[in-house]
Amino acid sequence: MTKSPIGGNRSGRKLGQKVKKGKLKASSRRWLERHINDPYVQRAQLEGYRARAAFKLLEIDEKHKILAGARRIIDLGAAPGSWSQIAAKVTNSTDADPRVAAIDFLEMDPIPGVRFLQMDFLDPEAPDRLKEAIGGTPDLVISDMAAPTTGHRQTDHLRTMHLCEVAAHFAVDVLAEGGHFLAKTFQGGTERELLNMLKQNFRQVIHVKPASSRAESVEMFLLAKGFKGRRATETEEPAEDAATE
């Protein structure tokens, strides 16, 4: 069970540490102070995860059970690899029998049992490369992709939503029947066309914001559960409306 840090932390490190003034800009110093004092960052270090993002996936799974029974997983926007670490563990993936494929345009240190592709997911060759790397039909597609921020909120939202949309169509193309899709999105409204497509193809579509997602962050996660299969038709009952949790 994943529990939110309460009070202090489990690393033994004191919270409230300050970064000495030096050549750092004030904004950079504030970011660094927030980072080193973040209990999720400290807990990730203690438990061997590469990033605090691990707890976002674990918290979502705790309620929605998307990892339970997963045999093969594709991780989009994987670097630095905390979600891939979890995926390899739950699938019992090994280098001899890899059941996790991951992709990112950034470098990522190797993870046992994970086949990593360093390339842009928007590269036309990426989907086929991922299908080949996974070696079978995935039960789960997870995406923590976000476009590099420009500082302009609307532009950042649109760029990340484009990645979410491409990831969603990829999931529909590769998932096993009954599989799930999880992707990062931003507050500000998911495109209606994307939601309609997901509702047509999945049994349930909801928005989730786990406790480990910083309160001031505009990120949310779009979760589509129970893939109907590629034979789903428009005559089937639509999925539940996307709600926020």
Cα angle: 24, vertex 36, 113; to 5 degrees: 115
CA–CA dist 19, 125 (Å, integer): 44
Which residue in 20, 89, 131, 184 is the catalytic one?
184
95 has binding-site annotation:
no
CA–CA dist 143, 221 (Å, integer): 9
Of 223, 174, 216, nearest to 199 by C-alpha is 223
CA–CA dist 164, 105 (Å, integer): 16
Q: DSSP string covering 101-158, please?
A: EEEESS-----TTEEEEES-TTSTTHHHHHHHHH-S--SEEEE---PPP-S-HHHHHH
Per the DSSP assignment, residues forming a β-bridge with 186 are: 219
144 has binding-site annotation:
yes
**Strand 180-186 relative to strand 219-227: parallel, antiparallel, unpaired?**
antiparallel
75 has binding-site annotation:
no
At position 5, the amino acid (one-letter code) is P
97 has binding-site annotation:
no
Per the annotation, the verdict on 184 as an active-site residue is yes
Rounded to 10 degrees, what is the CA torsion of 49, 52, 57, 58?
Answer: 70
123 has binding-site annotation:
no
CA–CA dist 23, 17 (Å, integer): 18
Annotated binding residues for S-adenosyl-L-methionine, written as ranges, equal 81, 83, 104, 120, 144
Residues designated as active site = 184
